[in-house]
Amino acid sequence: EDVFTIVGGPISQPTLDEIDYTILMMLSDDSRVPLTDIANKCKATPNAIRYRVKELESKGIINAYRISLNLKQFDREFCKAFIYLHQKTEEKERKLITFCEMHPDIIAVVQCVGSWDFEIEFEVEDFDQFHNIMREIRNKFDFVRSYESVIITKEFGINYMGRTHNLINFINSLSQRDKISLKRKPKDDFR
């Protein structure tokens, strides 16, 4: 669900204040941060923060809470495959997606626009297992033209609020007149 729609309709933006930003930033840094810590930072009560978190969840601004596992502790490796298709149809793509969703060692599948068609993420015991799964995919789906494999050796922290935070700040910094002009672009401006 997109938060911002600039082309083809009015801008839909969440109304967030400084307390909401602080809550989101602290939760994106550590989703297990105690509400009392957030309340202290915001100079609010834990009940007020709890209410705001529930509101952010109900508005769809907070969709999930994540943990980051050290796969080495489980003797697992993290790999990706960039999949190139040919003679693709919606039905064929759906079958590939379903296969990936059902496979116990595939943790994510992303349909892409760009150089490759799909990005598949794996958690495997070793790289032989990764290549065996890719061989299975190539044998089962003849429309897979080729793939590139990527072995992730180290993951660094992810800032889920990075660009979103900057975009919301930019839109909030616009004057009311600028926001109205963004909403009402003449149709001939969009080519």
**Does the reported pTM lie above 0.85?**
no
Give how far Cα 22 sits from Cα of 37, 43, 52, 101, Å: 11, 11, 11, 35
Give dist(CA 33, CA 18) in Å, integer. Answer: 18
Please provide residue 11's backbone torsions phi and psi, each rounded to the nearest 5 degrees. Answer: -75, 125
- Exposed, middle or buried: residue 118 (CB in 10 Å: 0-12, 13-18, 19+)? buried
DSSP letter at 60 equals T
- The pLDDT tens digits for 71-102 are 777 888 889 999 999 988 899 999 999 999 99
- The pLDDT tens digits for 166-182 are 555 555 555 554 444 44
User: What domains are defined for the chain?
Assistant: 18-66+161-189 (1.10.10.10), 71-152 (3.30.70.920)
* 183: its two tokens: 């909403």
